[in-house]
C-alpha cells in the first residue's frame, strides 16, 4: 500500500524525494518541485486544480515569474534562492494571481546543498 503524504511530515524533503510521482499526484495538498531558480519540475493535480494550470503547462516554466508571480517576493522566492541556510518554513499566504484571492498555507522546503526545492500548498 502506498504511503499517504502529510503536509506537516517530519523530514518532508526526503519523504517527497523518495516518493514516486504517483504518490505526489495523490496528495491532498499542492506539491511543486522546482529548481532553486524556480523552474518547475513537477506540478501535482491538487495544485493544478487550485491554480487552474495544467501540470503539463507548468513544467519547465518559472514558477515565480510565469506561474505565480504573486510569490516573486522576499517571503517566498527569495527564501528558495538563498543557499546559506536550510529552509523548512510554514507561512500563511494569499494567492492572488489569475484567481480570486485564496488563503493558503505554504511550506517551503529547501535543504542546503540540494539543487531542487519543494513548495507545498494547502488551501485554508
> How many domains is the chain partitioned into structurally?
1
Task: For residue 92, give the CATH number of its domain.
Answer: 3.30.450.20
Rounded Cα gap, residues 88 and 118, in angstroms? 10
pLDDT of residue 84: 81
Q: Phi/psi at 51 (nearest 5 deg)?
A: -90, -15
Please, which pLDDT band fits residue 30 given cuts at 50, 70 and 90? Answer: very high
pLDDT above 90: residue 3: no
Rounded Cα gap, residues 37 and 39, in angstroms? 6
Please, which pLDDT band fits residue 1 given cuts at 50, 70 and 90? Answer: very low
11, 70, 116 from 22: Cα distances, Å: 20, 28, 19
**Which residues partner with 106 through β-bridges?**
91, 121
Domain that holds residue 105: 12-123
Q: How far apart are the first and last CA of the chain?
A: 28
pLDDT above 60: residue 40: yes
Mean pLDDT, range 89-107, rounded to an integer: 89
Q: Which of 45, 52, 78, 79 is nearest to 67 (CA)?
A: 52
50 within a domain of the structure (yes/no) = yes
| Of 68 and 83, the one with more pLDDT | 68
92 within a domain of the structure (yes/no) = yes
Mean pLDDT, range 22-45, rounded to an integer: 97
Q: Which of 99, 67, 110, 14 is nearest to 119 (CA)?
A: 110
Amino acid at each position: 500500500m502506498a504511503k499517504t503524504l502529510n503536509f506537516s511530515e517530519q523530514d518532508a524533503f526526503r519523504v517527497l524525494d523518495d516518493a514516486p510521482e504517483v504518490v505526489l499526484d495523490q496528495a491532498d495538498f499542492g506539491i511543486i518541485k522546482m529548481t532553486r531558480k524556480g523552474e518547475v519540475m513537477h506540478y501535482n493535480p491538487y495544485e493544478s486544480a487550485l491554480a487552474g494550470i495544467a501540470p503539463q503547462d507548468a513544467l519547465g516554466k518559472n514558477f515565480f515569474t510565469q506561474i505565480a508571480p504573486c510569490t516573486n517576493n522576499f517571503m517566498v522566492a527569495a527564501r528558495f534562492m538563498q543557499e546559506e541556510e536550510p529552509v523548512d518554513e510554514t507561512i500563511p499566504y494569499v494567492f492572488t494571481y489569475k484567481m480570486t484571492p485564496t488563503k493558503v498555507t505554504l511550506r517551503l522546503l529547501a535543504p542546503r546543498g540540494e539543487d531542487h526545492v519543494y513548495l507545498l500548498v494547502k488551501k485554508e
